[in-house]
Amino acid sequence: MSESLSSHVSSSSTKSARPHVAIVGAGVMGLSIGWRLAAAGCAVDIFEQGTSGLGASHAAAGMLAACAEAEPGEDGLLVLNRESQRLWPSFAAELEAASGMAVDLRTEGTIVLALNADDGARLRHLLALQQAFGLPVEWLNGAEVRRREPHLTSKLAGAVSCPEDHQVDNRKVAAALKIAALAAGARLHEDAPVERVEVSDGRARAVIVKGERHGADLVVLAAGAWSRGVDITPAAPLPVRPIKGQMLSVAMDPAAPILNHVIWAPGTYLVPRRDGRLIVGATVEERGFNTDLTAGGQLALLTHAWRALPTIEELPILEQWVGFRPGSRDDAPILGPSAEVDGLIFATGHHRNGILLLPVTADAISRLILEGETADVIAPFTAGRFARRAAAE
Ligand code: GLY
């Protein structure tokens, strides 16, 4: 932690001395940090360029897929992902109590499918990696998969069951967080784009919105894919870029849903909601902030979904949309204090794991501000890692 953040936080251990915090971004990250801080007695102003909760928080599928999305070489990120996965049930219960609304955490688990021998061989590699990481997963044969999900194709080469990879309705989470943050006393400013963090004598002093200055003791940058667009000079712009994802949803009969588990199939994933929506995602495109729904993108999603779940063919399309994942240079989040500007804290760059990483981010960033402690689990993810790597090269 930077000196000034440390000394500020240690001198603000009583409720009356809590810092005034400006948060840039009212997606799930900004709202959850604002909720936690306001509940602890901080004055909190959350600034959102548009309407709260309508960025990646709205676009996401809400998969809590620490095991299914495990990647080689991402051992450190896996520890963070698993810790946040562990926190989700208590976080959801606390949020539901604070907001008075359900967020639909579903615990049926996730099944990753192989549809042919090639997929099967790839999936065996994933299984070996997951087992080497000690993750709770098991191999299922085709008959067992169909016993659990009878509407899936009969052309199955096997599957991996990830029973701890749950899902939550991210749109409900965003709505609940807004209620909880406002109820705790946070002030939400919508249509309020932060152009710049004012820095003087090496310390963040204010945010500038439409030319107007809003002073604060600390600034949290939680603007997702838009984080790089906030001027934090003299600090370098954050290495965060938008990674476009197209998605769609179809309507199942909520009384007789054709799917209950989250399904990963080659080229797509399928996430069934309690209200009958079936979310189909997602493309991965390096197209900046391009918002086009393309014929190719939608065709690919529907083709892959239909191969895994042929009965999807009859279902009406409800919605098609585009979202932007905040991707960092190493695909891991950027969490904790700036190494260059005192009083500036980052909570961004969550890439494919924003909803999964919500509880650990909210807890660790609010603890950093309230108690001056950087939790061990976020220590590897500070922005300083990029400068250290550049210096070592
Ligand atoms: N985590 C799913 C996605 O980014 O598409």
44 SS3 class:
strand
Q: What is d(CA 116, CA 121) in angstroms, rounded to the nearest whole number?
A: 9
For residue 116, report the distance from its CA to the centre of ligand 1, in Å.
23
Q: How far is the CA of 339 from the centre of ligand 1 (A)?
A: 29
What is the structure's pLDDT at 15?
46
Two tokens, residue 109: 């688990």
Q: Which atom of ligand 1 lies closest to the CA of 65?
A: 1
| Ligand 1 lined by 245 (C-beta under 6 Å) | yes
Sheet with 212-215, strands from edge to edge, namely 194-200, 203-209, 212-215
What's residue 9's pLDDT? 40
Quickly list H helices, the chain.
3-10, 28-39, 56-59, 75-99, 117-132, 142-148, 170-184, 295-308, 358-371, 384-392
Atom of ligand 1 nearest to the CA of 69: 1
Q: What is the pLDDT of residue 16?
A: 52
Smallest CA separation from ligand 1 atom 4, residue: 352
Q: pLDDT tens, 30-47?
A: 999 999 999 999 999 999
What is the DSSP pairing of strand 212-215 with strand 203-209? Answer: antiparallel
- How many Cβ atoms from other residues are within 10 Å of residue 73's Cβ? 8
Question: What CA–CA distance (Å, rounded) separates 65 from 185?
Answer: 32
Does the C-beta of 352 come closer than 6 Å to ligand 1? yes
Are 181 and 31 in contact, with CB atoms under 8 Å apart? yes
- CATH number of this structure's domain 3-59+172-239+330-392, picked from the four choices 3.65.10.10, 3.40.50.300, 3.60.15.10, 3.50.50.60: 3.50.50.60
Task: Kindly state if the Cβ of 368 falls inside 6 Å of ligand 1.
Answer: no
Same fold, 3-59+172-239+330-392 and 107-165+241-328: no
Place of tokens 């961004």: 348
The fold for domain 107-165+241-328 equals: D-Amino Acid Oxidase; Chain A, domain 2 (3.30.9)
Candidates 173, 190, 185, 227; CA nearest to 28 is 173
Write the pLDDT tens digit of every residue in 270-327. 999 999 999 999 999 999 999 999 999 999 999 999 999 999 999 999 999 999 999 9
Distance from residue 73's CA to the centre of ligand 1 (Å): 19
d(CA 206, CA 125): 50
Ligand 1 mutation pick, 74, 85, 325, 331, max ligand atoms within 8 A of CB: 325
> What 8-state DSSP symbol labels residue 27?
S
Would you say the CB of residue 271 lies under 6 angstroms from ligand 1? no
**What ranges do the domains of the chain cover?**
3-59+172-239+330-392, 107-165+241-328
What digits encode the pLDDT tens for the residues 345-361? 999 999 999 999 999 99
Point out the ligand 1 atom lying closest to the alpha carbon of residue 282: 5
- Joined tokens for residue 245: 């994802």
- pLDDT at 5 (0 to 100): 52
- What is the structure's pLDDT at 119? 95
Angle among Cα 197, 199, 205 to the nearest 5 degrees reads 80
Q: CA-CA distance, 126 to 111, in Å (whole number)? A: 13
- Mutate which of 28, 57, 58, 63 for ligand 1? The one with the most ligand atoms within 8 Å of its CB, which is 63
CA 299 to each of CA 7, 251, 293, 313: distance values in angstroms, whole numbers, following the listed order = 55, 18, 10, 12
Residues in the chain, pLDDT under 70: 1-16
- Total-model pTM: 0.95
